[in-house]
Structure 1
Amino acid sequence: MRVLFAGGGTGGHLYPAIALAEVLESRGDIPIFVTGDRSVEDRAFRASSWLRFAIHAAGLTTGSVWRRLRGLLSQPFALWRAWRIVRRVRPDHIVATGGYVAFPVGLVAALTRRQLVLVEPNAIPGRVGRILARWAKGVIALDPDRLHTPRARAVRAGIPVRRAFLHIERRQPDDQPVLLVVGGSQGARRLNETLPGLPSVVKCSTVIHVTGPGNLEAARDAWSTHPDVNVELIEYADDMPALYARADLAIARAGAATIAELGAARLPAILVPYPFAADRHQDANAAKFVEWGGGCVVSESDQFADELDQALKLWIGPDTRRAAIERLEGEKERFDPEALLDVLEDVR
């Protein structure tokens, strides 16, 4: 079986597809990818051998007039390239995971009456997801109730993550946790600047700080004034499951892939939603994580540093983290890519 995945732009649109592709490959099926042409896609796929096509696609509704015009002009070429890729690959299923590049491929799937499966990883669906949901025969979504899916024959609630996250063994919590700080695939500048000055951070045995591309030197300068903290600085991490396995607590953005990976790894977390995300979908994602019992939310307000420090002080406590780990244990099935792949069988 050939399955063509289409999505990109952020880790939340890439890693669910990679999680499903790993399972398909282990079964002898053939995953093929259509992504954007940005650096985030190149990093995500540089260690893989899967066939991958790149399409330059841009949005129509955000940014300056020039940016929107450029996005409009890119659509005919993107649609033509998507049609040629689908004709060449002849997939049994097309799985759209969101982002601008998913739209032309999903539209070709609808026009050529191919089996379209939508993966919508955000609690508030994006514009592409809302459009493609109308034609999808199968849906995997963090919150399926927010989508209009008149043609769907199979609907599952969840976000697939790579199996390595599901197999992490959590240590018994103590009062000197290893703290993992990660801002998602694009980093988080304000978080990078605020964290080193928090009084409670000295209670952590180690801080593993993934700064995001281009932020390493600034983070090194910020931490240099706090020599009493044992810090490991990483600009971009290729092996996130290994870092999650070392960590006892996380401070992170609330992108779709991040909350799913935290949940699958049963890693308690303090979430700091990106305040300028479209439709404030990271706030909704964070609310889901809190609903699962995995952590708390701190917004980037004027009192951000004080509120983050208070949250860190609470979650350093082993009893708080132990209770969160137990609650997240009961949510693991919603992240299992093997279980979620049943959607493909149901729409044949």
Structure 2
Amino acid sequence: MKIIFSGGGTGGHIYPAIALIKALKKKEPTTEILYIGKKLAQEEKICKNESISFIGIKVRYFYRKLTFKNILTIIEFIKSYCEVKKIIKQFKPDIIIGTGGYVCAPVVYAGARKKIKTIIHEQNSIPGLTNKFLSHYADKIAISFSSSEQYFNHQKTVLTGNPRAQEVVMSKKIPKNQLKLQENKKLILIFMGSLGAKYVNQSIVKSLPILSKREDIEVIFVTGKSHYDTIISEVKDFKLKQNVFIKDYVENMPQLYQHADLVICRAGATTLAEISAIGIPSILIPSPYVTNNHQEKNALDLVQIGGAVMIKEKDLSEEILTNQILKIIDDPYQLQVLRINNKKLGIPNACDKFIELIEHLT
């Protein structure tokens, strides 16, 4: 089978595709994959690292407000559409899969126009502009939240979950001691995404001295590379104990998930898919800076079933955050309830479900 993937802009669009590609290749090693993304963007680097064939195209962001820039976007779309048609003719895919971001618009659209089977994957509870547009042309729409179905044609929609979830669930479990963690301590894992979040980080930093005094917990705070030096400078006078670890980045996040008793994080779709697949009690601080406020809407899906607690960034303070952390971590019953309810939203076999959909179409 030959498959074209396309998606980009953020890791939330790219990593679900990478997880699915790995699962497809594991099931059938002869599967041929081609990834079409934006030239010199994040997806090109990731594909190179994963040894995935990649072709870059030029695309531009489509602005929601009326602006002359959108004329340039349309011109670029037409050019990339014509380029993709040539790529399709040469590669001859059996199916094309778009995982979001404006780069996949000309790819999926070109495939649909050439009568090739197409699937789009929506990670968020509220679809973005690209998937709203492509939903009219795609053969199937794979969704991660059941609440997304209301925005699409019901006959096309299939609840598969986010493929990244299964990758996390299936990752090799490493004993705590190999991760330099204590068996008898609860683990609090804090991260705000690859770039971190300056305002939220400030509240977290102020809570660390209190958390550091607790001998029954350990804290791993992943700051994001752009904020690491600043935060290290801010905490140097706190005399934090050895139960607080501050890191700019971690490569073994799936292994840390498996030992986490509480996670404090943003509410990106892929992050929620990962933590709900395992069932990790969570304090969610949605980013207010994303399009359509979709992180808050993602978080609400988990909060409404009792699987997480949400603190809006505008309401965040050192006191509120610290009190909420200690309230949850000191209550075994609440931890268990959050864990059970969190897992209700998870789809730990998302890759398998997606592959079934591909096989059904082809």
Quick check: TM above 0.5? yes
Shift of 1:188: 1.6
C-alpha spacing 1:75/1:254, structure 2 compared with 1 (3 Å): same
Contiguous gaps of at least 5 residues in structure 1: none
Which 10-residue stretch deviates more, 68-77 or 46-55? Answer: 68-77
Partner of 2:133: 131
Task: Spell out the pairing of 1:248-263 with structure 2 (5 A cutoff).
Answer: 248-263=261-276
In the aligned structure 2, how far is the partner of 1:200 from the partner of 1:322?
24
Shift of 1:63: 8.4
In the aligned structure 2, how far is the partner of 1:98 from the partner of 1:58?
14
Q: Which amino acid aligns with 1:146?
A: Q
SS at match of 1:222: helix
In the aligned structure 1, how far is the partner of 2:5 from the partner of 2:230?
36
Partner of 1:146: 150
Q: Does 1:12 align with 2:12?
A: yes
Q: Which amino acid aligns with 2:26?
A: S
What do residues 146-197 of structure 1 show as CA deviations (whole Å, max 9, x unaligned)? 3333772x622522225341146699xx994222112123322222222010
Say which one has the larger Rg: 2
| TM-score normalized by the length of structure 2 | 0.85
Task: Spell out the pairing of 1:308-347 with structure 2 (5 A cutoff).
Answer: 308-317=321-330, 318-333=332-347, 336-347=350-361
C-alpha spacing 1:43/1:288, structure 2 compared with 1 (3 Å): farther
Partner of 1:209: 221
Shift of 1:90: 1.4
In the aligned structure 1, how far is the partner of 2:50 from the partner of 2:211?
37
Partner of 1:112: 114
| TM-score normalized by the length of structure 1 | 0.88
In the aligned structure 1, how far is the partner of 2:155 from the partner of 2:149?
14
In the aligned structure 1, how far is the partner of 2:287 from the partner of 2:334?
25
Contact 2:280–2:343 (CA<8 Å) still a contact in 1?
Answer: no
Shift of 1:20: 1.3
Task: Spell out the pairing of 1:34-183 with structure 2 (5 A cutoff).
Answer: 34-37=36-39, 40-42=42-44, 44-61=46-63, 68=70, 71-141=73-143, 142=145, 143-149=147-153, 152=156, 155-167=158-170, 176-183=185-192
Identity %: 26
Contact 1:136–1:149 (CA<8 Å) still a contact in 2?
Answer: no
Contiguous gaps of at least 5 residues in structure 2: 176-182
Shift of 1:133: 0.9
In the aligned structure 1, how far is the partner of 2:333 from the partner of 2:270?
26
In the aligned structure 1, how far is the partner of 2:66 from the partner of 2:248?
30
Which 10-residue stretch deviates more, 135-144 or 106-115? Answer: 135-144
In the aligned structure 1, how far is the partner of 2:128 from the partner of 2:259?
33
SS at match of 1:301: helix
C-alpha spacing 1:330/1:77, structure 2 compared with 1 (3 Å): same
Aligned alpha-carbon RMSD (Å): 2.9
SS at match of 1:341: helix
